[in-house]
Chain A
Amino acid sequence: MTSAPLSPTTASFAERGAAFVVRWGFIAVTVALIAYFVITEPNFRTLDNVFGMLKFIAPTAIAGLGVMLAITVGGIDLSVGASAGFAVSIAAWTMVIGNQVGGVAIGVVLLGGLLIGGLNAFLIVVARIPDLLATLATSFVIVGLKLLIVDGKSISSQMSLADGSTAPGKFTADYLWLDRGSLGPVPIPVIIFVAITALLWFILEHTRWGRALYAVGANAEAARLAGIRVQLYRTVAYMGCGLLASIAGLLLGARIGQGDVSAGNSLLLDAVAVALVGVSVLGIGRPNAWGTALGAILIAVMVTGFTMVGLPYYAQDFGKGIVLLIALLFSFTFSRRRTVVTAGSTTSS
């Protein structure tokens, strides 16, 4: 191929070097960052801080895992932020206005997440609206619906209702345990985050259903001809995404302790970013659960570390953007393997 008088060893060294960078570069950056903060910031290296960071990033990571599912089947879901915000308000409404216990609120929220996922799936799979556009539209619908349900207000215990009475319920302890509880030293959100990551990793890498999801994303037509129910799997992926977004919302709601109407607004971009970073981690070139989790952890490390060294938040955004760009360079430019991410079905065909 090359006419340059390179000896085979030199050429293969360069190629192996490039492959090495693609495979380990991202992890190296993360490790270097962590090392830097551990050395310079005494507060960074405490166990409290480690769990604090993981807890802080758990909702973003879980929503990111949802986006990852959508990317796995060759799509994207831009409604995760709205779905999580919807979950926060619905949980609050169920407990504070409806005077139900936390378990009921959790059930209602998870059902709502599945319904939103189902709506997205219907619009994309049956109505054939491009995923980017469909989920953008549903995110507006979901936010609007949420505001209609709560009259545009943040729901908090003791709030006065339209008829002048006081709301009967409050955020119950069992619900708040989702954020405030812990098993030993490990906060509950961290446990949920790790458990979901491990479960999705197992499903995607080691079960036939996961393989089928990947096949739908890699070549939907080939998957269909191989007898895979492509539309069914896409539906399942979007419903899974809705479910995960609502779990992220449950954690957010428990953290905020009230039905903050603005909750979830800042979730979407971070969630999409960690899913995209996840594609490039380890040079796998396809969406994967641990990569997504690692992307989320990297963001947590950056935000916390940068705050500790006194970098203002706008510089943190810059840092996040650079990391995402590097991830995309790894996925699309440097990697030899074909990356299966399509930025929505609008670009395919």
Chain B
Amino acid sequence: MIDSSIPEGGDQATLSPVVSLSGVSVAYGSNVVLTDVTLDFFAGRITALLGANGAGKSTLIKALSGANPRYSGDISIEGTLLHLSSPVLAKAHGISTVHQKVADGIVPGLSIAENVMLDDLANASRHPLRNAKQSLLDARAALATLGLDWPDSLLVQDAARLSISDAQLLVLARALRGTPRLLILDEPTSALTAAEAERLFTVLRSLRDTGLSIVYVSHRFGEIEALADRVVVLRDGVVQHNSERPFAWNAILHDMLGRATELEQTRVDVRRGHDVVAHVSGVPLLPAAPPLDLEVRTGEVLGILGLIGAGKTELAELLAGLARPASGSLSLGGEPYAPKRPSDALRRGVVLVPEDRQRQALLPGWSVAHNISIPFLKLSSALGTLRGAREISRAQQVIDSLGVVTAGPSASIDDLSGGNQQKVVVGRWLSAEPRLALLDEPFRGVDISARREIGDRLKDLVAAGDAAAVVLSSDIDEILEVADRIIVLVAGAIELDAYADETDRASIVGAFLGARTRDHSAVPPEGHPK
């Protein structure tokens, strides 16, 4: 379904870049999220931007689109050095961005035509009175750049009624107004069907042929294989890979998923679990995914590796009682397990360290002790009356066992660093002495020492023999470091299930790749395993 013909490319040496970045860095406080990025974007080229979560893709896009003026280094457009201080300025200099969430780009209640012309509302040089007839004409002209011939009767309809793919095209048409020189597309196909995506690709190819430079962000290798002229990989804020066709997919994946230096780091203490504590049978994790079967065993740390949309969080929520299986069943300790809500899961000894610490775990403004005791209010009270001493002693145990850096149990959680907050959250849940501990992206925004500390406590937990831990992550190194058994999850299906000493980084990467390419029936990349 995807046209995989090799796009023609000109001789790069003769071209000067449309947009050129030199030594661009971005730091939030002491946290450096983009380091010394030097890149050129050429006219008539599609550059694919790849990277795992938190690799710095969106930071780079924000800097380019003027949404984050606090970058250092130089960005020049057609040889002129500029400081992109606002989205309006970036747009005025020909950099147009289509953000990932199409819905955020559509203002419901305004007509389609008004939505196409939305930028005019923020443009002080435009006449403040809106002329309905003129905006219809303008909107039609803008849509014509995409070859769209929408009738006026459609243009006056509420934009909220557009299908997602038409909305995507609308947002694209808006981005193309004023004939940009660089078009940035962030995961444009994430909500589209294959046919809709193909329609978009045709448009993008013809735009490229008119000389537009396009930056295309995607997780879908098949699309990139079909569309891109160049692939740039970011990891930990650094450009790890920058190559032209033909693409060396194995190298790209290595650069994307992990540091090669850690490749040969071998684990000597891999445990083999014994009893099955939780059993998932025939449950589809995603609407379109096949039914999944999975066994979680006591005495081992299970690492589940998957990118965004693979079904990791869905699996965690299923087991923690936040969601119910669409079909199939769960069992826990050999008995049927159908938690209706988190308290049911908690009662059966299943705990979840959720993905988003701030939103899902912390109680802002509360003390460390009160943050820790919140699931254990019953244990911390007598006849309903809270006993402060019990809360303090539980908190002190957590602080001691995980080495939380804090002034004490009574300190405000807001005063702790991100890593220490995460230790508090993990410690809170491990202090429940769970039978099954689920940790969804537990190492995000956590420094290496906190990560080691948390990993060690997980190993302690399972070493006792009758508990299991599941770490869900999109970072191969985190998984290799902490997991005894590794599962690669792609699009809701298990692509690999092996003990850490029976597999290696290459096989894990291969498992990813196999699934990805199979998914999109693109040209099989070199080095495809099996």
Contact = CB atoms under 8 A, between A and B. Distances in A.
A246 B410 CA distance: 38
Contacts, number: 73
Interface string A198-219: 0000000011110110010011
A142 B83 CA distance: 59
Interface stretch (A157-165, A184-192, A223-231, A323-331): A223-231
B365 A208 contact: no
Contacts of A211: 370, 374, 377, 386
B313 to A, nearest CB: 13
Contact of B343 (A206, A219, A221, A227): A227
B360 A225 contact: yes
A247 B94 CA distance: 65
A227 B359 CA distance: 16
A54 to B, nearest CB: 28
A229 B342 CA distance: 9
Contact of A222 (B363, B380, B385, B414): B363
Contacts of A229: 341, 343
B351 to A, nearest CB: 9
A259 interface: no
B334 interface: no
Interface residues of A, number: 23
A208 B362 contact: no
Nearest to B359: A221
Interface in B328-385: 341-343, 345-347, 352, 354, 359-366, 370, 374-375, 377-378, 380-381, 384-385
Contacts of A207: 381, 384-386
B322 interface: yes
Interface in B393-414: 412, 414
Interface string B126-160: 00000000000000000000000000000000000
A212 to B, nearest CB: 6
B375 A208 contact: no
Nearest to B320: A225
Contacts of B380: 208
Contacts of A223: 363, 374
A285 interface: yes
A340 interface: yes
B346 A219 contact: no
Given A206-B385, A208-B384, A226 B375 contact: yes
Interface in A317-349: 337-338, 340
A221 B320 CA distance: 13
A209 B378 CA distance: 9
A219 B374 CA distance: 11
A224 B365 contact: no
Interface string A281-296: 0000110000000000
Contact of B365 (A225, A227, A228, A337): A337
A271 to B, nearest CB: 25
Contacts of B365: 218, 285-286, 337-338, 340
Nearest to B428: A226
Contact of A228 (B343, B362, B412): B343
Nearest to B361: A222
B381 A215 contact: no
A225 B352 CA distance: 8
Contact of A212 (B345, B377, B412): B377
A223 B375 CA distance: 8
- Name the residue in A207, A211, A228 with the highest tally of chain B Cβ atoms < 10 Å from its Cβ: A211
B319 to A, nearest CB: 13
18 contacts: A206-B385, A208-B377, A208-B381, A208-B384, A218-B364, A218-B365, A219-B363, A222-B359, A223-B363, A224-B341, A224-B342, A225-B342, A227-B342, A227-B343, A227-B346, A229-B341, A286-B365, A338-B414
Interface of A: 206-209, 211-212, 215, 218-219, 221-229, 285-286, 337-338, 340
Given A219-B359, A227-B347, A338-B365, 10 more contacts: A207-B381, A209-B384, A218-B366, A219-B360, A222-B361, A222-B362, A227-B375, A286-B365, A337-B412, A340-B364
